[in-house]
Amino acid sequence: MGQRGSKLPEARIVLLGLDNAGKSTLLYKLKHNACVRTVPTIVLNTSVLKRSDTS
């Protein structure tokens, strides 16, 4: 995982759940650090997050 020589490891996370379980809401909360109103997702929803804090 992580690139050779990097201090922070890379992590890949998969969110699985039933319909209307809040997967997209959690993804947007992690990415934008705000609660946003989402519409039901019809297709696959992917996103890349880069976090500077590790705590």
Binding residues: 17-24, 41
Q: Which residues are annotated as a binding site for GTP?
A: 17-24
Q: Which residues are annotated as a binding site for Mg(2+)?
A: 24, 41
- C-alpha distances in Å from residue 8, one per residue of 1, 30, 32: 10, 18, 21
